Structure 1
């Protein structure tokens, strides 16, 4: 089946007012390494001024506090670049999933128009200018309402009165809004993708109960959702470093409380990433019910004919035993009975949720991975693992 051009070039991430602005300012040219320049520009814009302002304006204690502030370095030099790098990878995986819906004929030709409408609606929502402007406004509003406490490092403050230093002002007015905007931007694009999947689930899908993926042919969607693991890892790195800086809990006192933020993040990430696939529950239930009824009737007919031929007497009792044995060798009925049983078993084991083990493990591991270096830095990794095992077992 030919894939329409609108679905062939589907992109959920490449659009919006900021992309148009870069094109008007001639910052986006065909063939230019835009991702590399965006990565370098945003990283330097958010982090380099902090270093320069701290070295030039801060006291020695403030300089040392900045250099040892692993949270700001991880947030701006690791998490922020990962959120940018993930765009091209995730966008490519989502585009493959959209094309797979057509090439695997899960969406039949008569429903291509509806699928095309769903893709165009997703593209329209993706390109709404006021949404991204609103996200940027919310990012700056959070900086105005956020109050830095004494738990934050000394380089943020100019003195003991709680007044922000030049570096702290840049962090609150530029660095933090950029990071928050990227996180909110990913949440919005994920919402648009979830709405697209919901509209797809309401189409008359040609699900196959005998498909070996045990999900009617939809398991590739779970693999596609697993590409969001890199976004989860970026957010988890920032969350883990912030927890270590602000937490007063020793990992040996209460390991579960120490790891609670990342455990909560892992749960939220699994819900946000794989929750949209729940909309396919009803089509899968219908396909499984239909397949079980059809195969049950077919298996009954086949078993009846099989037993009539091989178990009911038809003169074979008067034949020599070696003649019957020769008939058994290469008999097609036994092979077809085994194949039918395999197909019926696949239909019976068909899942009501298009999940796959490894994508779910990948997202959960991405959320919990920053906990490992966090505990190693605190020199409590083995102690915490032992104590966690004792509490959980």
Structure 2
């Protein structure tokens, strides 16, 4: 029996973000307005809180830019700036993208008939269960516990190279270092882990939907039996993928510019990161593969039988010159001539069991690869390359 909550779920109200414990906390302290979500405001506030005190304290200590006695200024720690000014705002703004995208593909399940009227109660129960999971405090307790543990570990054994710009002397930490370890890094860590939890929620949701008896159409022109609209899903976490890649690329860039680490020596790490991010991006869509494989196998058998019956009827009438009176299959307008029914079979045969296409690959691979390509490009001889291009063109 469905709960009252599940009966009242509307696609437009469905969200991976809204009303989770972190969202409610931000609303309670005024970061999220009563009317609206305040994505832009929060992105600016979090970025400035994480970054501005570092710049001010570094400026007061005279360690913002490279100078005599300052081998590694704050400006050279690219990973810190990327984390504060790129990754943190992106992880906040990604919530708005999720708010707009998630209801769209949830609505498509109903609008396209994948969820029949008889299956609507099951579908709504799946949504209700996901909303119940979203509201639970335990995942956020785990997130806070992980962040506190990481912070304590970094405080006990800080990476001196990472906070050298703060002007720390001997074994004591300057204010800028404390701020970075106790505020900047935890803000990023909370937002990062929050998105990992949301991706897990999304995966659970899609996994449970994939277990429902969806009304798939094997001959659908999208080649995914009518599930082609799911190519929007990577939009939800593309900013997350870009943020992770950018932070890692920024940290590696510091090692390249200030510690003479050759970029080729990082290729294995870059490739590993790229593979992991692409796998994370594709994983939510792979839950439909068993269903699509089964649907394709069944459809090939069914349409094979249909094509055989149709072919025998055509052969009997036109080759054997037999009288085949009022044979409905030969006159069915939805089947048409032999060429049309063969096209139906070919459309079934071309059905893909894995939801991957160029659009999906672009939404996942480009955000993951772009920061890494920028790092690799820093090693190109730009001046000579431009000179050769101009010489070739002119």
Length-normalised TM-score, structure 1: 0.84
Cα distance in structure 1, aligned partners of 2:124 and 2:319: 55
Cα deviations by residue, 1:1-37 (Å, 9 ceiling, x for unpaired): xx97514111011122232233334543344571121
Give the Cα–Cα distance (whole angstroms) in 2 for the partners of residues 66 and 270 of structure 1: 32
Q: 1:302 to 1:32 in 2, by over 3 A?
A: closer
Q: Which of 84, 97, 111 matches 1:103?
A: 111
Distance across 2 between alignment mates of 1:69 and 1:47: 12
2:26 is matched with: 22
Partner of 2:377: 376
Cross-structure match for 2:389: none
Contact 1:226 1:360 in 2 (8 A): no
Q: Unpaired runs of 5+ in structure 2?
A: 1-5, 324-332, 385-394
Instruction: Provide the C-alpha distance between the structure 2 equivalents of 1:137 and 1:110, rounded to a whole number of angstroms.
Output: 43
Label 1:95 to 1:344 Cα distance change in 2 as closer, same or farther (>3 A).
same
1:152 aligns with 2:155: no
- Aligned residue among 159, 176, 179 for 1:167: 176
User: Is contact 1:7-1:98 (8 Å) kept?
Assistant: no
Structure 1 residue 190: deviation in Å?
Answer: 0.5
Q: Cα gap change, 1:382/1:301 in structure 2, threshold over 3 Å: closer, same or farther? A: farther
Q: For the structure 1 residues 62 and 110, does the alpha-carbon distance in structure 2 shift closer, same or farther, using more than 3 Å as the test?
A: farther
Please state whether the residue corresponding to 1:151 is helix, strand or coil. Answer: helix
Shift of 1:349: 2.0
| Structure 1 gap segments, 5+ residues each | 316-331, 384-393
1:259 and 2:263 aligned = no
Query: 5 Å matches for 1:188-203?
Result: 188-203=197-212
> Which SS does the other structure have where 1:15 is aligned?
coil
TM-aligned CA distance change 1:297 to 1:33, over 3 Å: closer
Alignment of 1:27-42 (within 5 A): 27-31=31-35, 34-42=38-46
Contact 1:11 1:95 in 2 (8 A): yes
Give the aligned partner of residue 12 of structure 1. 16
Q: Does 1:82 align with 2:90?
A: yes
Change (3 A) 1:48 1:306: same
* Contact 1:375–1:381 (Cα < 8 Å) also in 2: no
1:293 aligned to which of 277, 296, 301: 301
Cα 1:54–1:5 shift into 2, 3 Å: same
RMSD: 2.8
Q: Of 169, 177, 190, which aligns to 2:186?
A: 177
Q: Is the 8 A contact 2:218 2:296 kept in 1?
A: yes
Cα offset for 1:222? 3.4
Alpha-carbon spacing, 1:38–1:27, altered in 2? closer, same or farther (3 Å): closer
Q: In the aligned structure 2, how far is the partner of 1:314 from the partner of 1:97?
A: 52
Q: Do residues 43 (structure 1) and 47 (structure 2) align?
A: yes
Distance 1:71 1:282, change over 3 A: closer
**How far apart, in 1, do the equivalents of 2:138 and 2:335 lie?**
65
- Output one character per residue of 1:323-342: Cα deviation in whole Å (capped at 9) or x when no partner: xxxxxxxxx89952111111
